[in-house]
Structure 1
Amino acid sequence: MADGISSFWGPVTSTVECCEKNYAHSSYIAEFYNTISNIPAILLALIGLVNALRQKFEKRFSILHISNMILAIGSMLYHATLQRVQQQSDETPMVWEMLLYMYILYSPDWHYRSTMPTFLFLYGAVFAVVHSVIRFGFGFKVHYVVLCLLCIPRMYKYYIHTQVASAKWVAKLYVATLSLGSLCWFCDRVFCKQIVSWPINPQGHALWHLLMGFNCYFANTFLMFCRAQQREWAPKIVYFMGILPYVKIEKPKAQ
């Protein structure tokens, strides 16, 4: 939320701000809650990465978890500084991450192995260059939503073909966190003028970060389960400390 304050990072130059008072808690952090709310996403991605490496899942899942971490770190830099140059470190990884999800979702049925990753890589590279020169405001949001919508049919297909109740529950957690997080983001954007008059700001954008951190983790866990089923690795959903679901597999000795 713009308030005309110039602090350690100088005047705000980003094209988008959230409903949080700038530099309210530190002269080094422009939006305090929107910055620290990315920490759970980093920790969850780290847990997913360790599991993927420990059980020797395909490299695509390690890259996916790392991309989640990069996105969260980029978001922290953006909200901490509210500088236009750091806005790129938030928005570009968002697109790259969705392209990676598209590859993981659709590649099992893609007969030309090199075509899809080559196209997606070039698409992501071109977008990064163009977006750094031409700032897409509303157009960026539309573009991102379209990429998300392209993933939904495939996710639904995996859901209806999965018979394991525990895996379906992870998928439902994915939908629930996405829906609730989107609602928090929407309210923070649309009702900011009303929210600032409340005694306590619910920090809708920070809640969006928190919920989307769990959302990405649940999505990754569900996709790892489905891929392990395709590879006949006898996957099952187990729980870390009885709370956090993750995939445990048993590969055939030949693999």
Structure 2
Amino acid sequence: MPSWLPSVSYGAPNPGGYWDPVTSTINWCEEDYYATPYAAEMVNTLTNLLFMYLAFLGVQSCRKNGHDTIFLVSFIGYLLVGMGSFLFHATLKYPMQLVDELSMIYTTCLMCYATFSYSRTRLFSLLLALFLISLAIFITLYYHYLQDPAFHQSAYALLTAIVLFRAMYVMEFSLRPSLKQSEEAYRVREGRSMNKEEKVVSREMDRRDRKILGTMWTMIAYGLSVFLGGFYIWHLDNKYCLLLREWRRELGMPWGFVLEGHGWWHLMTGTGAYFYITWGIWLRHCLNGRQDEYDLSWPRVFSPPEVVRTNKVANGDLKHDTSKKQI
């Protein structure tokens, strides 16, 4: 550690933390109770505050902009993930581990319902809801029986992949002008043709949808890259744990906090999950044909995006909020 850079020595881990004994089935690379007796893993605990902040933004956005209720519930589930993880890493207690890990499964099931139930019959939606509830119960009970974190991680990864690829498929085939059924083709089959003004409007709508798709793919690439990047850092944290602990102690606090890989996992996966729910909201509005009623506000790369309602003006045109850059 450079002598001119101030730091605080880590000191010995406290064997008698406030929440002792540890009852969770998994522990992480961050040393226990080295900074305070009231939080087993300080960095892993505090990085969950990002979940709570983004969940608050998401809930407020849903209420303010009139997004579907399923997304409001999803953001509440996202909040529970952050709170559960906060309590788990602070205490390393098994019940808190279940709150953390199972809330991830339940929130993903909610997004699965939002993705697969769209424009389906009420009977299909009911059967899907019953299936997902049964699946969540099965994962809960079987995980409690196995107490193997690998099972939870595999179930979560599989559910997430299914929902993500299904949503991308729906996005492409519902918005891509070359793939979706065009209004002109429909009118031809009906024995009618579009007049010149209608063709102009149709071309404008196609340009609008191509622009929206481009931004959506940028959003997906950004969110997925951040999410997978967090997973990779977590993998390195597990693989090189002993070496990283040595480096942290050499650096001292707070510089050693930068090498807490699981903390980066929280920050990056929390960001990626927020991007995914926001993308789902925007996609739902587009599927409902309301592209002109909502915009994606994403003023900076490192700022959280938000799907915002546009304001109507008297002549029927749309007046956009220009206080933020719309992309």
TM-score normalised by the chain length of structure 2: 0.71
Return the alpha-carbon distance in structure 1 between the equivalents of residues 120 and 239 of structure 2. 41
Aligned to 2:154: 142
2:143–2:151 CA contact under 8 A, matched in 1 = no
Aligned to 2:163: 151
Aligned to 1:249: 309
Residue 168 (structure 1) shift: 2.5
Return the alpha-carbon distance in structure 2 between the equivalents of residues 84 and 24 of structure 1. 21
190-199 or 75-84: bigger deviation: 190-199
SS at match of 1:197: helix
Aligned to 2:262: 205
2:14–2:34 CA contact under 8 A, matched in 1 = no
Residue 239 (structure 1) shift: 3.3
2:33–2:39 CA contact under 8 A, matched in 1 = yes
1:9–1:28 CA contact under 8 A, matched in 2 = yes
Aligned to 1:183: 232
Residue 48 (structure 1) shift: 1.0
Residue type of the partner of 1:49? V
Aligned-residue sequence identity (percent) comes to 22
Return the alpha-carbon distance in structure 2 between the equivalents of residues 36 and 22 of structure 1. 14
Runs of 5+ in structure 2 lacking a partner?
Answer: 1-12, 176-209, 317-327
Return the alpha-carbon distance in structure 1 between the equivalents of residues 245 and 171 of structure 2. 40
Residue 13 (structure 1) shift: 1.6
Equivalent positions of 1:156-175 (< 5 A) are 156-158=168-170, 160-161=172-173, 163=210, 164=212, 165-175=214-224
Return the alpha-carbon distance in structure 1 between the equivalents of residues 142 and 23 of structure 2. 19
Aligned to 1:17: 27
2:297–2:305 CA contact under 8 A, matched in 1 = yes
Residue type of the partner of 1:76? F
Residue type of the partner of 1:212? T
Residue type of the partner of 2:23? T
Return the alpha-carbon distance in structure 2 between the equivalents of residues 53 and 218 of structure 1. 18
Residue 182 (structure 1) shift: 0.9
Residue type of the partner of 1:195? L
Aligned to 2:92: 82
**Structure-2 change in CA distance of 1:77 and 1:237 (3 Å):** same
Aligned to 2:110: 100
**Structure-2 change in CA distance of 1:251 and 1:228 (3 Å):** farther
Q: Deviations over 1:94-116 (max 9, x none)?
A: 11112112112221154412111
